[in-house]
Chains A and B, each alone.
Chain A
Amino acid sequence: MNFTFDGMDLTGRPGDTIAAALLRAQMRIVNRSFKYHRPRGLWGAWVEEPNAILDVTLNGVRTPNCRATTTPLAAGMAIESVNTALTARRDPLAVLDRFARFIPAAFYYKTFLWPSWHLFEPTIRKMAGLGRMDGTQDFVPAAPQRHETAELLVIGAGPAGLEAALAAARAGLDVVLVDDRDTPGGSLIDRAEHLEGQSPADWAAAMISAFRAAGGRYLPATTAFGAYDHGLFLLAQRRDHPAAPALIRLRADRAILATGAIERPLTFVDNDRPGILSLHAGQAYLNRHGVLAGQRIAILSTGDAQTAATQFRAAGAAVEVIEAGEGRAEVEAVHWFARHLRGLTLTDGRRIDCDTILASGGWTPAVHLHCQTGGKLDWREDIQAFVPRADRPQILTIGAAAGTFATDDARSDALIAARGDRPALRAQDPVRKAWPQLGQSRRAWVDFQNDVTVKDVELAGRENMRAVEHLKRYTTLGMANDQGKISNMPGLATMAAIRQVPIPEIGTTTFRPPFDPVSLATLAGPKREALFAPPKRLVLEPLHRAAGALMREYGGWLRPAVYTDVEAEVSAARDHVTLFDGSPLGKIDVYGPDAARFMDFIYYNTMGNLKPGRARYGFLLTEGGIVFDDGILFRLSEYHFSVSCSSSHVDQVANLLDLWRQDQFDPDRVFIQDATPHWATLTLAGPKARALMARLDFGIPLDDAAMPHLSVVQKDGMRIARVSFTGDCSYEISVPARAAAALWQRIVTTGRDFGLALQGVEALAILRMEKGLIFVGKDTDGTTMPHDLGFAAPREKKQVEFVGKRSLFTETASRPDRLQLVGLACQGAPLPVGGHATAPGQPASQGYVTSAAHSPTLGKPIALALIAGGLGRMGEEVEVYHLGQRRRATICPGCFVDPEWERLNA
């Protein structure tokens, strides 16, 4: 298969990963390091790879940051190295490496500070970083998502996982087996380890066949990247590049983690040179892809490497095996010349000529998923590694992931785990320690991807960043997208040596999902574009659109913002009558013999004494006494109330009601049901509203005695309420949604004789502002209590307990300088919303503007604001500061129009 790398034409084979193809083409240098722009080659063969992060373009689609070891090669791929000014082989920015001593870990806390870090930051960021986004690509296809359940989830189709999955399936359990490879077998394939006389591929395939025959479900090319509460696992199922993986949410009664182990590097000077790979990766490339990592191989290993050496020799390489670790000679120098590895020299004087070093510093069990669920780790001195503690009854770890490396032992443990029992601990032959040495004069790398060296860890130690969490953040060790898979343990061991404590005393940082980076498209699924946060739709939307309304989102609903002109609509509401779609207003039914007592508890205001057919304005508070919502409460009958809360807040208010119902009241005497979606509410407002209502003739008396302000009538399936959010005489007519269109048309037709105009939300905002009526969340903030809005009476007089009561009497709640809602009068243009009020010429904020607009009714600007102690500062002048500008304003009452409220009964 033909492809290009940094512009060079290369050829790979079907089944290659990009990494295997590059190795096959003898591309030793595949990238540049993050900070120093040192040449980097492959280290690993799968998810542990830290260096080969490349941008891939296929069929015109550019995908940044693809890991070469896990991305299958496809014909026609154009692959580019990242973080280089030119190519991986030639990068002029490599000169930075000569100044390494000036840019160690955390250099940005100490240098490039004068005159300002921001002067240097853009350039520094450009020189460091990974892939480049393609700005012309604005559409990434959605990734599918689905849900699954299982009695048992087995993660890992190596020998341990296969045994466990098959045994459990044969025992009748509903089993799902996942593995991140396309084919099963795991480490058996990498090592070419035969089992029961069969090749690893044949043995694994037979196991899968038997597993499926027993009813098991096998998901290859699927990474379990997250383990969550209550048996939830997130899986990413790979699809053909560049499609984002599909997301599977799998809920399992229990899980077996057979996730294997990750080989550790050896930490020696210049251990980041291209041509130095992990021993296991060398075997994997040979046994999976038929690619030799090199022709002259030096193996440095703390364990037995003879089997691997035999395999490499059989493939034609010259191999020398060197024992590494405690008590053995160490690497004194790596010889690197003309972009090639030439050999190494040991401290015992031996010089070994080679073109490839395969290094193994031991194995680190992959404990990530265990820890993500909160599982703890135990230190195993014999294998010099952390293993899962037996503290998760529903999650068992087996095989190499549990520190059991012998295949036969892992298979035996798998059968025990399949039964739901925990295998006994198996002590292993002690491994030779091979942790980083301190005090070296030259650099040895701990974290390849973030260019963190032993010297950096020593620096962190000297600067007292000795706790593991500080070590991580200070040096960025483990913070790259390889998430410390090969760097965490050497880093911990180095800090342990610095602090002269055992490694387990250093501990580990917190393991969090994802185990492997996941595309945002996978997580988003269909929730994008129009489906990301779709607004609710009005039943009358077609009529609004037909009338020319500009539709915009308000509080989760798509509503008419304006039909013609905002100020004209305001004027129509003040001079004639307007029609407004108030359907989103909450209508939450509260029933039962204790409903009245419940309403008294829920509301700040006294509500239980409302008579049927009457309504009252009130506040809902949080337990902290903060205004949570406001609105009208209707009493429809002795045991039936309707909570008309804010349009944007219905779900939250319903939840609040349910919460307190369960907490404080007999659930057999109070009941709650949200009725909002059933109803459409059409609002008539204005001095001619009553006359229009009379013409419409709904068969109800409209005089003030029969239907005063804040009253409600139910008739012929309708609810007609007299309430007002504009200060003028106003009626809300609620009908079942299917009847709304006919009623709307009838009102529009009849209303022509009265100068009826359609009114949008923008006009409503001005009308209510003119009257000083609040929008909760706009004219209130997270500190606002009812007495800050001028509603102090219930606080002082209401006797019964209600939500938030005691919080209204704290020291903070009683301070005289609390932010209080007032009006602001000014000249010229409206004040800027969010502008801060200060004493003239003073810098300290005393509050801020919450609403502001030009009032067509008054012909001048008005504003509402939360001002410290505002209610006691009427007439006082303040300055309003915003974006460098200062305006003068005068504190005044918040009701600008008809302060005597005479228009209500006009």
Chain B
Amino acid sequence: MLDRDWPAPADLSAFRLDLPGLTVMTIDPGAMTLVTGQLDAALSHFGLDQTHGWPGTASGPSYAIRTGIDRALVVGHDLAGGWHGAFGATEASDALTTFVLQGPAMSAALLRLGEISLTRPSASATFLFAGYRGVLYRHEDALRLHVSRPLAPAFAGHLEAVLADMTA
């Protein structure tokens, strides 16, 4: 396997799947920062009033998603990496690739990705999808899924494989 020839990955900036009842594509949601520590202090710094878990419903260009007991992903803001008195900030704008799932079949698509209860909330929006760790939440009428950038090409291939035979 170590000697395998791997083909060059496709350009994910143009990634798009058009399936019955479902569209999947990548977007650039803007600056992203991972914060860890006193989340209230971090939210206050960014002018946000809450974090969203699962399913949550984030909206607009700026929001915070809870990813752990004392961790969150802040979208729409950047902050220099480092300790900020009560929380640490880690630049993440280039750490994550963002996939958007949209359409009436997006819930059915989720069942092919991982063990995600559509009815049971979770404080954390972090999930495991067939070994790929990601952050998943509702954003307005779509689902957003952030995956580690280096694994995003493989994850895109996984999406194609598991969603290809979806019917409306």
Which one of A146-154, A361-369, A487-495, A833-841 is at the interface? A146-154
A544 to B34, CA, bound (A): 30
Inter-subunit contact B162/A145 (CB<8 Å): yes
Is B16 in the interface zone, CB < 8 Å from A?
no
B3 CB contacts on chain A under 8 angstroms: 552
Q: Give Cα A179–Cα B113 distance, bound, in whole angstroms.
A: 24
Q: Are B114 and A147 within 8 A (Cβ)?
A: yes
Assembled-state Cα–Cα distance A678/B81 (Å): 11
In the bound complex, do residue A678 and residue B2 qualify as a contact, i.e. CB atoms below 8 Å apart?
no
Bitwise, B110-150 to A at CB < 8 A (1) or not (0) is 01111111011000000000110000000000000000111
Question: 8 Å CB contacts to B: which residues of A511-548?
Answer: 525-527, 530-531, 533-539, 541-542, 545
Residue among B94, B149, B151 with the highest chain A CB neighbour number at 10 A: B94
A430 contacts the other chain (CB 8 A): no
Q: Is B55 an interface residue (CB 8 A)?
A: no
Are A534 and B38 in contact, with the CB atoms below 8 A? no
Partner of A591, one of B1, B36, B149: B36
How far apart sit A584 and B116, CA to CA, in the bound complex (Å)? 30
CA distance A674 to B71 in the complex (A): 11
CB neighbours of A251 from chain B (8 A)? 115, 117
**Using a CB-CB cutoff of 8 Å, which residues 1-42 of chain B contact chain A?**
1-6, 8-9, 34, 36-38
Q: Is A671 an interface residue, CB under 8 A from the partner?
A: yes
Q: Which residues of A contact B6 (CB under 8 A)?
A: 530, 535, 551, 553, 558
Structural contact, A144 and B83, CB atoms closer than 8 A? no
Q: Which of B44-52, B56-64, B98-106, B153-161 contacts A (4 or more CB under 8 A)?
A: B153-161
Residues of B within 8 A of A94 (CB): none
Whether A677 and B162, one on each chain, are in contact in the complex, defined by CB atoms closer than 8 angstroms, is: no
User: Could you say which of B81, B96, B113, B119 has the most chain A C-beta atoms within 10 Å of its C-beta?
Assistant: B81
- Residues B1 and A533 in contact, CB atoms below 8 Å apart: yes
CB distance from A336 to the nearest CB of B (A): 51
Residues of B close to A535: CB separation below 8 A: 6, 154
- Interface 0/1 of A557-571, CB less than 8 Å to B: 110000000000000
Query: In the complex, are the beta carbons of B2 and A553 less than 8 A apart?
Result: yes
Q: A639 near B: Cβ within 8 Å?
A: yes
Q: Does A289 contact B (CB under 8 A)?
A: no
What's the minimum C-beta distance from B102 to chain A, rounded to whole angstroms?
20
Let me know if A667 is at the binding interface, CB within 8 A.
yes
Q: Name the interface residues of A798-831: CB closer than 8 Å to any CB of B.
A: none
Specify which chain A residues have a CB less than 8 angstroms from the CB of B2 in the assembled complex: 552-553
Complex: A558 Cα to B151 Cα, angstroms: 11
Residue contact A148 to B111, C-beta cutoff 8 Å: yes
Known: A538-B150, A551-B6, A592-B37. A677 touches B165 (CB 8 A): no
Scan residues 112-148 of chain A and give those whose CB is less than 8 A from a CB of chain B: 142, 144-148
Interface residues of A (CB under 8 A from B): 142, 144-149, 249, 251, 525-527, 530-531, 533-539, 541-542, 545, 551-553, 557-558, 584, 589, 591-592, 595, 636-640, 667-668, 671-679, 736-738
Which 10 pairs from chain A and chain B are nearest by CB?
A591-B88, A534-B154, A536-B150, A678-B95, A737-B94, A526-B161, A639-B83, A677-B95, A671-B36, A673-B90
23 intermolecular pairs with C-beta atoms under 8 Å apart = A144-B112, A147-B112, A149-B119, A149-B120, A249-B115, A527-B130, A531-B154, A531-B157, A533-B1, A534-B157, A537-B9, A537-B151, A538-B150, A541-B8, A553-B4, A589-B88, A591-B87, A592-B88, A639-B83, A640-B83, A668-B70, A677-B148, A678-B92
